[in-house]
């Protein structure tokens, strides 16, 4: 989304979705320049013992964009994304990606799980997905 198209995140959600004030307080404290890096959102979820999706909903309802996706897919400037195609993808990584596809796409949570199980970076997973022409879906924060 272009810089001028930012905002209106709350409109993604049903009107009955309400702000969790406990999460909102911490989000407001940790947001910088009206934005929140993905890693900080996950840290908040961990600290408050809530699902990342709850922090993501709070960010949306407060109209705070998520930046610096840990998979490199969005939230970077001047380019939207930093992920590039991997030059080489190992056979175990290819197999893990293909094994975890849902309707031809790799869920964000599965990408994180693969990174942990194969002890590679999250960015390495998304770079391999790029080279394999696999899209990542279902951001754990709800950004996509």
Q: What is the CA radius of gyration of the chain?
A: 16
- The tens digit of pLDDT for each residue in 42-74 reads 999 999 999 999 999 999 999 999 999 999 999
Question: Which region among 3-12, 24-33, 110-119 has the lowest average model confidence (pLDDT)?
Answer: 3-12
pLDDT exceeds cutoff 80 at 2 = no
pLDDT exceeds cutoff 90 at 102 = yes
Contact 117, 73 (CB under 8 A): no
pLDDT exceeds cutoff 60 at 4 = no
- Nearest Cα to Cα of residue 44 among 66, 61, 17: 66
């Amino acid at each position: 989304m272009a810089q001028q198209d930012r905002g209106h995140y709350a409109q993604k959600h049903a009107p009955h979705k309400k702000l969790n004030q406990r999460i909102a307080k911490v989000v407001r404290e940790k947001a910088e320049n009206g934005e929140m890096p993905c890693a900080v959102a996950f840290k908040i979820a961990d600290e408050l013992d809530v699902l990342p999706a709850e922090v993501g909903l709070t960010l949306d309802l407060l109209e705070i964009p998520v930046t610096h996706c840990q998979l490199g897919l969005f939230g970077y400037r001047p380019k939207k994304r930093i992920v590039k195609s991997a030059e080489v993808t190992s056979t175990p990584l290819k197999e893990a990606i293909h094994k975890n596809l849902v309707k031809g796409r790799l869920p964000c949570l599965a990408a994180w799980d693969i990174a942990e199980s194969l002890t590679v970076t999250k960015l390495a997973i998304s770079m391999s997905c790029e080279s394999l022409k696999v899209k990542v879906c279902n951001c754990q924060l709800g950004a996509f």
